[in-house]
Structure 1
Amino acid sequence: MDPLSILLDGVRARGAFVLRTVQNPPWSVQVRDRAPLSVVAILRGMPWVVPSTGDAVRLGAGDIAIMRGPDAFTFADNPRTPIQVVIQPGPRRTTSAGTELPEVADMGVRTWVNGVRTCDDGADGSSVLLIGKYRGRGEIATHLLSALPPLLVIPRAAHVESALVSLLAEETVRNEPGQDLVLDRSLDLLLVASLRAWFSRPDAEAPAWYRANGDPVVGTALRLIHGHPGHPWTVAALAGRTGVSRATLARRFTDLIGMPPMAYLAEWRIDLAADLLREPDATIDSVAHQVGYGSAFALSTAFKRARGISPQRYRDRT
């Protein structure tokens, strides 16, 4: 598989938080739940998204916004509208001062309406947002999260099939057997399609490994590294598989990726180990062999050098 497919293959929602919300103006909701990744599809209206750093962005119906945690972000009818509701971990709803808000504004399955709902055709200026949140970092590959900006927006004209948004919207307000699994997989599909569309945009500032995927030499080396991280790769072995000399591969790889092949391989192995360590049945020794280290001790030494913490302590904290 290509590097993007390998990274997106690691997307696995597990009990994701999914909600449909109708917001009547004036409204402003700040999200501080520290979720590693949030996906928001605009079903109606033209709300603003305000990241913790950077400029506010106006959204329209059909747009999809993806926010990388743990930084806070705000959705509002206007960037100048004072924050009325804060979404805390849990999730819990509070005022901006931290006072708990009663759960009295819910209307229907996984639906939250602020205030009184006056009509359903948008003539009242309301916005309808479809929100999906990944709760744990283990649901999203570490290398993928590091490749994303804090906020990315996929315009309606440039992104995924609207059928995926419609599917998630329809399933959000249903309550059938197996519904949690249906919502998890629907959210996964929407995220994968959205990220694939974003990575392909010329203005996406995609990471170097994505841009280099089309290079006949470096792209081949990346696919070998990503697809077989446990293999005892050397520069010579990679060069032999790509049909160039060691010096050519090293120079070309460094020029396009920004680091030598072995440094990239070491980084990829540690990122992959970090993801695998979150699996409840995985041992440090089994993870070590999967990512190319001969023993748990060898992985522990490399992991602590890269992350400043041992694999066991990392596992205990995640």
Structure 2
Amino acid sequence: MDPLTDLLDGVRARTAAFCQAVLEPPWGLRIADGAALAFATVLRGHAWVVPDDGEPRRLEVGDVAVVKGPDHYTVADSPGTVPDIVVHEGNRLTAVDGTDLTAALRLGPRTSGRTPDGSAILASGTYQVTSDVTGKLLDALPPVLVVPAAEVQGPVMRLLLEEVDRDGPGQQVVLDRLLDIALVATLRAWFARAEAGAPGWYGAFNDPVAGPALRALHDDPAHPWTVASLAAHVGCSRAALARRFTAAVGETPMAYLTAWRIALAADLLRSTDRTIESIAREVGYSNAFALSVAFKRLRGLSPKQFRDRPRAVASTG
């Protein structure tokens, strides 16, 4: 398995909040749903994504934006337009004063607006993310990224938009899966751009030495890997592996493995009631003590302290 596949596993859409808004200038939406990741594309007209702390980004028809949360931000017809509608979790809509507008603005099963003939249509979907594994992906993304329409590959966008206003059996599952594919296609297109500054683990996938080593670490993180055994698996010397892996990924093979194991352990601590001992063995440590030492060194707190703290948006920081 490749790193991007593993890191995307935690952002799979489940009951995806996907919808479209039909708008007429001047319009402004204050996005306050707290989602860890949002996906938006313009179907008609144009839109500006305006972070509270960052440069506004313009979207033309077919362009796709991915916005990293959970901070609130604005989407509007112009960077200077003051929002008059607030979008909350679950696509609940209110006026700025808190008056609920969800029912009043509903035009279809997943479409909202004051008129069906607005000059701008914006489609969007959101993801709630709690996976530490996925935090490594989020850390590699800017607050707002935009991929031009010409670079978003495949028919998935057309299929996704055709499904928005349908309400047949299994509709939610169809939307979830299509949104997943659309996000993957967008991120692949983004990382292929020179401006993206793709992280080492992404670019290293195609390296003839670092790539197979990365796949081995992701396929079997609990294996008692050493530089020597990993080099033998790849078919090169220890020195060659250490040199190529570090140059491509940005850290040594064992440092990467440790961080990967700790991220996997963090997800298990959050999502299960399993003992620390059993989690330790699953991710490649001989016992709970060994996991605790490594965990505290990287995260600054013990596995028990990590499990007991309130949950937050995933981050590898």
Q: Indicate the TM-score class for this superposition, using the shorter chain for normalisation.
A: 0.7 to 0.9
Q: How does 1:65-80 map to 2 (within 5 A)?
A: 65-80=65-80
The answer on whether the counterparts of 2:49 and 2:58 sit within 8 Å (CA) in structure 1 is: yes
Aligned twin of 1:232: 224
Aligned equivalents of 2:231 and 2:61: distance in 1? 48
Question: What are the superposed Cα offsets for residues 36-92 of structure 1, whole Å, 9 maximum, x if unpaired?
Answer: 111112211111111233211111111111111112222110001112222234554
**1:51 is matched with which residue?**
51
User: C-alpha distance in 1, partners of 2:231/2:278?
Assistant: 28
1:175 pairs, out of 138, 158, 167, with 167
Name the CA shift for 1:270/1:129 in 2 (closer, same or farther; >3 Å): same
Deviation at 1:95, TM superposition (A): 4.2
State the AA in 1 paired with 2:61. Answer: A
Aligned to 1:290: 282
Q: Distance in 2 between matches of 1:284 and 1:90?
A: 35
TM-score normalized by the length of structure 1: 0.87
Larger deviation, residues 228-237 vs 196-205: 196-205
Q: CA, structure 1 residues 285+204, in 2 after alignment: closer, same or farther (shift >3 Å)?
A: same
Q: Tell me the equivalent position of 1:155.
A: 148
The one-letter amino acid paired with 2:60 is: G
Q: TM-score, normalised by structure 2?
A: 0.87
Give the equivalent residue in structure 1 for 2:99.
100
- Asked whether the equivalents of residues 15 and 181 of structure 1 are also in contact (C-alpha less than 8 Å), the reply is yes
User: Residues 142 and 275 of structure 1 are in contact (CA less than 8 Å); yes or no, is this contact kept in structure 2?
Assistant: no
1:109 corresponding residue in structure 2: 109
Could you say which residue in structure 1 is the equivalent of 2:237? 245
Q: Which residue in the other structure is 2:211 paired with?
A: 219
Cα 1:306–1:139 change in 2 (3 A) is: closer
CA distance in 2, matches of 1:91, 1:309: 36
CA shift, 1:151, in A, is 1.3
Contact 1:212/1:256, CA 8 A, preserved across alignment: yes
Query: Aligned partners of 2:183 and 2:302: how far apart in 1?
Result: 31
Q: Is the 8 A contact 1:213 1:222 kept in 2?
A: yes
Residue aligning to 2:194: 202
Return the alpha-carbon distance in structure 2 between the equivalents of residues 269 and 213 of structure 1.
19
1:278 CA displacement:
4.2
Percent of paired sites with the same residue: 51
- Contact 2:30 2:72 (8 Å CA) reproduced: yes
Q: 3-state DSSP class of the match of 1:19? A: strand
The corresponding residue for 2:128 is: 135
Q: Aligned pair count?
A: 309
Cα shift readout 1:145-185 (whole Å, capped 9, x = no counterpart)? 22222211111111122x31222222221222222222211
Asked if structure 1 preserves the Cα contact closer than 8 Å seen for 2:159 and 2:178, the reply is yes
Please list the CA deviations of residues 14-36 of structure 1 after superposition, one character each: whole Å capped at 9, or x if unmatched.
Answer: 22211111111101112122211
User: Do 2:133 and 2:263's aligned partners in 1 also have CA atoms closer than 8 Å?
Assistant: no
* Distance in 2 of aligned mates of 1:270 and 1:94: 41
Equivalent position amino acid for 1:83 in 2: P
Q: Give the distance between the partners of 1:282 and 1:80, measured in 2 at CA.
A: 51
**Aligned counterparts of 1:140 and 1:259: Cα–Cα separation in 2:** 17
In the alignment, which residue of structure 1 is the partner of 2:137? 144
Deviating more after overlay: 260-269 vs 213-222? 213-222
Secondary structure in structure 2 of the residue aligned to 1:206: coil
CA distance in 1, matches of 2:258, 2:134: 16
Shift of 1:225: 1.4
Alpha-carbon displacement from aligned partner over 1:117-142 (angstroms, at most 9, x marks no partner): 4x3xxxx5x21111111123249823
